[in-house]
Amino acid sequence: MGWTPLVAPLLEARALPDAALDLTGIAALAFTSAQGVRAFVALTDARLPTFTVGEATAEAARAAGFGDVQSADGDVAALAELLARARPGRILHAGALHPAGDLVGHLTALGLIAHAAALYDTLPVDLAPALARLPEIAAVAVHSPKAAGLLAEVLTAHPAPHLRLLALSEAVAAPLRAVENAKIAVAPFPNEPSLLNLL
């Protein structure tokens, strides 16, 4: 697209040392991130029918050997609706210690039986290298509410009014609205192509 990308994660995923899986009675898996897939396959060889929030997560699941994979191509609510239509039986959401959305809550409200397994946490990283290059950055693509909250803190301490803040969804945009004079654009659909089209 003619841009020079700088990959500067605000968060680092770390496996929880005491993470455990109990797949007794579980009929299907739900993943809301590729990191959830990676954390799951690090603990077990089980490959159950799988439902993912988006296509990137679905691709990660297929690459990890999952054969029956369906993508909601949306957000947590869209994933819950996909699972409600499929009604696969007892569902395990394998994901973060502090997930961005309450998938289990959505599923329970829809009459499904679902459980969560926290397999990893996301922790802040050293932002000094990225901050040093802040003046030359034109736009920032932000993928999660947690990362957006950290970015809002950074931009409050180090104002950069020239930046365009590109959010994957309204939930991601919400923490960015605390930044004074922020130039925020929200992807019309919560997927990478829609986000990149904002450039």
112 and 137 fall within a common domain: no
98 and 165 fall within a common domain: no
The overall average pLDDT reported for the chain is 93
Q: Is 41 strand, coil or helix?
A: helix
Q: Which residue has the higher pLDDT, 100 or 14?
A: 14
For residue 20, the model assigns a pLDDT of 87
117 and 136 fall within a common domain: no
28 and 102 fall within a common domain: yes
Nearest-angstrom CA–CA distance, 187 and 196:
8
Q: Which of 122, 142, 168 is the last residue of a domain?
A: 122
pTM of the model: 0.80
For residue 9, the model assigns a pLDDT of 87
102 and 188 fall within a common domain: no
pLDDT in tens, 32-49: 999 999 999 999 999 999
137 and 103 fall within a common domain: no
- What's the one-letter identity of residue 89? G
DSSP H helices, the chain, are: 34-41, 55-63, 76-86, 103-109, 128-132, 145-157, 170-176, 192-197
Mean pLDDT value of segment 77-87? 96
Mean pLDDT value of segment 79-86? 97
Sheet containing strand 164-167, strands side by side = 139-142, 164-167, 183-186
Asked if residue 6 is part of any domain, the answer here is no
Mean pLDDT value of segment 181-187? 95
- What's the one-letter identity of residue 55? E
Q: Which of 117, 58, 59 is nearest to 82 (CA)?
A: 58
For residue 126, the model assigns a pLDDT of 87
Nearest-angstrom CA–CA distance, 185 and 169:
9
For residue 176, the model assigns a pLDDT of 97
Number of domains, the chain: 2
27 and 101 fall within a common domain: yes
Nearest-angstrom CA–CA distance, 5 and 90:
41
Domain extent at residue 90: 11-122
- The pLDDT > 90 percentage for the chain reads 76
38 and 95 fall within a common domain: yes
Q: Which of 62, 96, 122 is the last residue of a domain?
A: 122
Question: Residue 164 in contact with residue 139, Cβ under 8 Å?
Answer: yes
Mean pLDDT is lowest, of 43-47, 78-82, 98-102, for: 98-102
Number of H helices, E strands in the chain: 8, 9
63 and 117 fall within a common domain: yes
Q: Which of 116, 150, 107, 118 is nearest to 8 (CA)?
A: 150
